[in-house]
A and B are shown apart, each in its own frame.
Chain A
Amino acid sequence: MTWFLNNLPLIFELTLDHLRLSAIPIVLGFLISLPIGRYAANGTRSGRFLLSFVGILYTVPSLALFVILPPLLGIGFLSELNVIIALTIYAAAIMVRSAKDAFESIPTELLLSADAIGYDRREKFFRVELPAAGPVLLAGLRVVSVSTISLVTVGALVGVQSLGYLFTDGFQRKIAAEILTGVFGTMALALLIDYLLVLIGAKLLPWDKLQRESRRQGV
């Protein structure tokens, strides 16, 4: 506890770094996954191929990606960009599968009604498909956000600052309190963002709650 209290400025600074390093990949990964997931949801051969390619990206361990990317992209080893790009790839890899499931979960009747109203493809996507896919997309986004926030800590190994710095520094200096501060700090951050996502979801997707309640009542 004394270690925690004596190092509040450092912890605060690392938390901010951590937040920045995770927020960008989460948002970017989400945005990238939407068109890919929508495309793959049609069940075409190229869609399936795209999905298995993205699945392969997910199998590359994060540490491996952190060391492969800098020479490949010509960016600095210690550059935050390295961790941000690697984690965006991961976030997109996890999210694409959820996005595909989300777009496939839309009832055909709903899509047909949108056609019947005379929506063009853009209107149909933004006014019908995206809102209807919302609840499943949100569930996927929550998984992505929690795992991204946890993975940011591995960046400490290549020298990119986050709460993960407390792991390596605490281990080398044999200060258990420092490592635990990092562990609990990362978890707290993950749960906080998760809670925020649920709140945003409730605000943006009021029909999700309605749907669930009507299902419970057997309507």
Chain B
Amino acid sequence: MEIIIDALIWLIDPENWIGEGSVPQRIYEHLLFSFGAILVAAVFALPIGYLIGHTGRGQQFVVGLSGATRALPSFGLILALALFLGVSQREQAAIISLSLLAFAPLLSGAYAGVQAISSETILSARAQGMTEWQLFFKVELPLSLGILFGAVRNASLQVIATATLISYVGLGGLGYEIIQGIPLRRYDQMIGSALVVAFLALAIDWLLSKLQKLATPKGVYQFVGTN
């Protein structure tokens, strides 16, 4: 218990809240890389996911890919890419590794969101004479948002958790005090930072759950639930 109190004392120490390497700066670095990675992943994953969902072709690709990327150890990938790309491009190495982590959940989320729409809904839209683009923008996209946001939450949790490892290649983030504290056995800064990451992950998840509720059309809400 004493150790937890030490961690809390470290956390409220004003010295850790201003200047170079302060907690706010670590949070900023952490979120910068996390969101950057999710954004990069979304740019690639969403069009492919929606294309597969819309056309109904390539489901095997989704299943295979999500299995394969889940097996990929992100920590090793960050280090391997940092070594290959060189020190000057370790930012890119971190973003690529983290975005690979988010890629499969986002792709499956977009695809599953479209798949979950009942075929009657799609057929009625077609019967009204909607073009493919109208069908996508007016029916498939809005109805898929609930499930898609579920996937975004899942991807964010994983990326924010894994972003603690980027400080091993010198990129800061909330893992910095943890990794630096291990050889020194500085439990106060390690546990203090660990608490901040856990809190950050929870806060982002809570925020996204609010967005998920907003994004889900009222009519489908009763089916999607609060999950």
Residues of A within 8 A of B (CB): 56, 58-65, 67-68, 71-72, 77, 143, 146-147, 149-150, 153-154, 156-159, 163-164, 166-168, 170-171, 174, 176, 179-180, 182-183, 186-187, 190-191, 194
In the bound assembly, the distance between CA atoms of A68 and B197 in angstroms comes to 12
In the bound assembly, the distance between CA atoms of A190 and B71 in angstroms comes to 6
- Could you pull out 16 A-B pairs where Cβ atoms are within 8 angstroms? A61-B175, A64-B164, A67-B182, A67-B190, A77-B185, A146-B67, A147-B70, A164-B76, A167-B75, A183-B76, A186-B71, A186-B73, A187-B68, A187-B72, A190-B70, A194-B71
Check A61/B84 contact, CB under 8 A, given A150-B70, A164-B75, A191-B71: no
Does B165 reach chain A (CB closer than 8 Å)? Answer: yes
Q: Count of B residues near A, CB < 8 Å?
A: 42
Contact yes or no, B202 A150, CB < 8 A: no
Contact yes or no, A60 B194, CB < 8 A: yes
A153, A156, A159, A174: which contacts B83 (Cβ < 8 A)? Answer: A174
Closest residue to B191 on the A side, CB-wise? A68
Instruction: Report B137-157 residues with CB < 8 Å from chain A CB.
Output: 157
Of the listed residues B80, B162, B168, the one surrounded by the most CB atoms of chain A closer than 10 A to its CB is B80
Contact yes or no, A59 B202, CB < 8 A: yes
Taking the nearest CB of chain A, how far is it from the CB of B132, in angstroms? 28
Check A187/B194 contact, CB under 8 A, given A60-B201, A170-B79, A171-B79: no
Contact yes or no, A59 B71, CB < 8 A: no
Residues of B within 8 A of A (CB): 3-4, 67-68, 70-77, 79-80, 82-84, 157, 160-162, 164-165, 168-169, 175, 178-179, 181-182, 185, 187, 190-191, 193-195, 197-198, 201-202, 205
Contact yes or no, B205 A171, CB < 8 A: no
Contact yes or no, B80 A64, CB < 8 A: no
What B residues does A63 contact at CB under 8 A?
164-165, 175, 178-179, 194
A-B pairs, 7 with minimum CB distance: A64-B194, A61-B161, A190-B71, A183-B76, A59-B201, A71-B3, A171-B79
A61, A77, A153, A180: which contacts B160 (Cβ < 8 A)? Answer: A61
What B residues does A183 contact at CB under 8 A?
72-73, 76-77, 80
Contact yes or no, B71 A149, CB < 8 A: yes
B67, B80, B205: which contacts A176 (Cβ < 8 A)? Answer: B80
In the bound assembly, the distance between CA atoms of A199 and B198 in angstroms comes to 37
Of the listed residues A58, A59, A187, the one surrounded by the most CB atoms of chain B closer than 10 A to its CB is A59
Check A187/B73 contact, CB under 8 A, given A59-B202, A60-B201: yes
